[in-house]
Amino acid sequence: MATATVPPPARVTPPAEKVGRPRRKMNRTLKYLLLVLFALIVLLPAYVLLVTSFKGPSDADPSRAWFLPQTWDPSGWAKAWDTLAPALGRTFAMVIPASIISATLGSMNGYVLSKWRFPYANVVFTLILFGMFIPYQAVMIPLTQLMQGLGVPNGIPSLLVLHIVYGLPICTLIFRNYYASVPDELIEAARMDGAGLLRTYFSVILPVSTPGFVVVLIWQFTSAWNDYLFAAFFSSGRNGPVTIALSFLAGGQLTDYAASMAGALIASVPTLIVYIILGKYFVGGLMSGSVKG
């Protein structure tokens, strides 16, 4: 005799859940609308830069900044590229080694100050950090005399040395906080195996330092790329970085707005690419050293 299949009872949606669904949907919609609004506000300057860069001399007027070009003219981009191209190469030759060297030295400093304690380590760390709080303008004249006394040529060599030295405090701070989250048991185990200071660093610390290096490299690359004060004192238009070339492009009694806007976009592309590629690791790297594991 066949047994009749009893269908499962239909799920009855609680009244509270029925009421909560429209509210959650409305909250989600409001959240996305706010995100779109904030994105539009942030992108407005980029829109003005982009449309102005394609305007001709008669159309590139501040009073028409929000309007699309009457005729799309790419000559501003050609002029900006011709002016900035040599400086872009010099800037890459400065910021890449400056970022790598200062990150490496800051990593070593942070490792020693966090894991290999020595007498007056906190005093040394405080003195290193003190360099972060000295305004550049206050030391610019004696710094110029020092670089001249050392015989460091103006231009990229001087800027390379300066960005390495002035990048050490923030690099040391970031790495010291990051290495504080590395378990001390790893260091003790390496010591028990006979590893010394450098062997422990290269075999134990360096392999787990990727998040810290990402944060420091992004920070240093952006700071060195956007620097203008050091570049104004220690270089010129012939041997300076892109910020100096951009200032010459935008200067003069008759400003070429199209070329200036195109130059600003060209100069910002490298840092934008760095953030696009490494940005997802940036916040994670910052948070890695915020809590000791």
Confidence of residue 286 (pLDDT cuts 50, 70, 90): low
Q: Which two tokens stand for residue 136?
A: 């550049």
Q: Which two tokens stand for residue 85?
A: 């191209």
Q: What confidence score (pLDDT) does residue 138 get?
A: 83
278 vs 221, residue with greater confidence: 221
Query: What mean pLDDT do residues 64-93 have?
Result: 89
Does 109 map to a domain? yes
Expressed as residue numbers, the domain containing 98 is 75-288
Cβ pair 270, 225 in contact under 8 A: yes
CATH number, domain containing residue 129: 1.10.3720.10
Does 26 map to a domain? no
Q: Is pLDDT above 70 for 256?
A: yes
Does 63 map to a domain? no
Average pLDDT score over the chain: 84
The total domain count for the chain is 1
Does 21 map to a domain? no
Q: What confidence score (pLDDT) does residue 221 get?
A: 94
Count CB neighbours of 85 within 10 A.
Answer: 12
User: What ranges in the chain are assigned the alpha helix state H?
Assistant: 15-53, 75-115, 121-130, 136-150, 156-179, 184-192, 197-200, 210-226, 229-234, 242-250, 257-288
Does 35 map to a domain? no
Cβ pair 226, 91 in contact under 8 A: no
Query: What mean pLDDT do residues 186-214 have?
Result: 87
Does 50 map to a domain? no
Does 138 map to a domain? yes
Q: How many Cα atoms are found within 13 Å in the side-chain-facing hemisphere of 289?
A: 25
Confidence of residue 291 (pLDDT cuts 50, 70, 90): very low
Q: Is pLDDT above 80 for 7?
A: no
Query: What does the pLDDT look like over 9-55, one tens digit per residue?
Result: 555 555 555 556 777 788 888 889 999 999 889 888 888 889 888 88
Q: What confidence score (pLDDT) does residue 234 get?
A: 92
For residue 285, which of 209, 173, 176, 234 has the smallest C-alpha distance? 209
Does 261 map to a domain? yes
